[in-house]
Amino acid sequence: MSKLFEKTTINDMTLANRFVRSATWEGMADEDGSCTSRLTDLMVELARGEVGLIITGHTYVRREGQAGIRQLGVYDDKLLPGLSKMTEAVHKSGGKIVMQLAHAGCHAAAHLTELEPLGPSVMENKKGPICREITLKEIQEIVNAFGEGAVRAQKAGFDGVQIHGAHGYFLSQFLSPFYNRREDEYGGSIENRARIVLEVFRSIRAAVGDHFPILIKINSEDFVEGGQTQEDMLQAVAMLEKEGIDAIELSGGSQRSKPALSPVRVGKLDSEEKEAYYREAARRYKKKTGVPLMLVGGIRSYDVAEKLTDEGIADYISLCRPLIREPHLIRRWKAGDTRKSPCLSDNLCFKPTMKGQGLYCVTEERENSASA
């Protein structure tokens, strides 16, 4: 049997295989962030497709931290009933599901929240400031909010949580000297820039206990001038390992990266060499730490996934857009049909999401219409 379909354990969570559905903004929640039956149905399809671990789309822990329309929330106990229905349905379908806890920081959607965005430092665009610098008191409030969100996830039946520390969102902003120009204990050295990330981890661990899996997603690098580097990532990883993080997902890029280096790059991956955007960063990671690594970014082929695990470059294979196109991809691969994902990496799937219509593969819909 392929290593990809081995059973593994992360803390007290046993997974049927090494495939992960990476957190993907679905745009299917209600306007207040509550879970809907449509969103639950999507998670159930992934479970039926035999994805080893499902990670929800980024789920905001405080109101001012909402990033986009119809984003899932975990900021209030009133959201628990819908979240509980989601986990119950996924578990009935044989799946495991982790909630990604997030805050958008200076990239929050003020037009939706009607609240002022907060970041490590003031950030500006052509129109002027887009956020103000967060105070020390507010830092601790958000640290606590991550812990409270994790408790809600645990109460709702999730199998673990993932801290969103990537893609230029709040915690990623602190890690990145591009965003973080503070001169206090949260700015400057990587030890200071990573301080809030470690505090978030400790807040969650103290709240949920030792046996509830806590994962984190971080950038291999930011791909912006003056941003987080691979060296920064490796130092942050070493600190997280010392704290006892259960697994790390490695990604890269942010809203300020060039499109060719963004987390969701456009362009057909027509050769295995083009796949696995962060392969070399993963090699460096594996030399540095023993924390299980989930690798995301541009993986489309079964053979590439198998090589990554066989060669010890990654412990888990995270997929985003391929599972939008084909939620049952893993089940197909397991059955022996190892043709690569038909995903074209065209990002058309995000257009309906941004319009509030929810996530789906536009290319597949057009192909089906053309052949009908």
Q: Could you give the residue numbers annotated as active site?
A: 169
d(CA 167, CA 142): 18
The answer to whether 231 touches 307, Cβ cutoff 8 Å, is no
Q: What are phi and psi of 13, to 5 degrees?
A: -105, 120
d(CA 157, CA 56): 13
d(CA 203, CA 223): 30
Q: How far apart are the first and last CA of the chain?
A: 39
DSSP codes of every residue in 123-169: EEETTEEEEEEPPHHHHHHHHHHHHHHHHHHHHTT-SEEEEEE-TTS
Tokens of 272: 């295995």
Phi-psi domain of 207 (left: phi exceeds 0; alpha: psi -120 through 50; beta: other): alpha
